[in-house]
């Protein structure tokens, strides 16, 4: 790391059907903030939900989190126009944030899901990856990552679900799952 941030930013992907993709990205964000790096997280398909990371980010001056989406689940087979519009807004915002290069790390949380649900186009995502400034680390999370994104990434981590409390009917808990 140089005094002006990262010397070389990479592309990381956290995917798979297991828990922990967003959590891993947030762990990296916390570590980066501890070293004085600036982190910007854009959450796709998450809107107006008071996740724990939103509350915590208020106390970390180098971490910004913005949400784009409704506070409800998106129907993969029949997404509402509003869901598509939010995803498009998030992607346009991501283009600007990445290109400006003001942040050392940009996290595109659940972008893989937005792509899988056909809320955004692969070509547009690839343009963001291909045109990112050299010093920007780009983190993309979400299950069902597209093969082209996996090929382009420098690091890919796949979280595999072995067992999950949901399987026993245990609902999401504040501070653990959200």
**What CATH number has the domain bearing residue 99?**
3.40.50.300
Find residue 138's DSSP bridge partners.
11, 106
Q: Tell me, what's the pLDDT at 153?
A: 98
CA distances for 43 relative to 5, 31, 59, 74, 149, angstroms:
23, 19, 18, 14, 18
Residue at 51 is within a domain: yes
| Residue range(s) defining the domain that contains residue 89 | 11-160
Q: Tell me, what's the pLDDT at 4?
A: 59
Residue at 53 is within a domain: yes
**pLDDT lower than 70: segments of the chain:** 1-4
Report the number of distinct structural domains present in the chain: 1
Residue at 70 is within a domain: yes
Q: Tell me, what's the pLDDT at 160?
A: 94
Q: Tell me, what's the pLDDT at 3?
A: 60
Dihedral pair phi/psi, residue 46, rounded to 5°: -135, 115
Residue at 43 is within a domain: yes
Residue at 168 is within a domain: no
């Amino acid at each position: 790391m140089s005094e002006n941030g990262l010397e070389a930013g990479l592309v990381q992907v956290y995917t798979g059907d297991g828990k922990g993709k967003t959590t891993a990205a947030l762990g990296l964000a916390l570590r980066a903030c501890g070293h004085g790096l600036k982190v910007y997280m854009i959450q796709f398909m998450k809107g107006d939900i008071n996740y724990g990371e939103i509350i915590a980010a208020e106390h970390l001056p180098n971490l910004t989190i913005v949400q784009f989406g409704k506070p409800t689940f998106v129907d993969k087979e029949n997404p509402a126009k509003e869901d598509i519009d939010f995803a498009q807004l998030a992607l346009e915002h991501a283009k600007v944030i990445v290109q400006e290069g003001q942040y050392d790390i940009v996290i595109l949380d659940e972008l893989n899901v937005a792509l899988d649900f056909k809320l955004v186009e692969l070509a547009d995502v690839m343009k963001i990856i291909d045109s990112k400034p050299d010093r920007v680390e780009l983190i993309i999370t979400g299950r069902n990552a597209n093969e082209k994104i996996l090929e382009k990434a420098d690091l890919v981590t796949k979280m595999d679900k072995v067992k999950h409390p949901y399987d026993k009917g245990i609902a999401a808990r504040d501070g653990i799952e959200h």
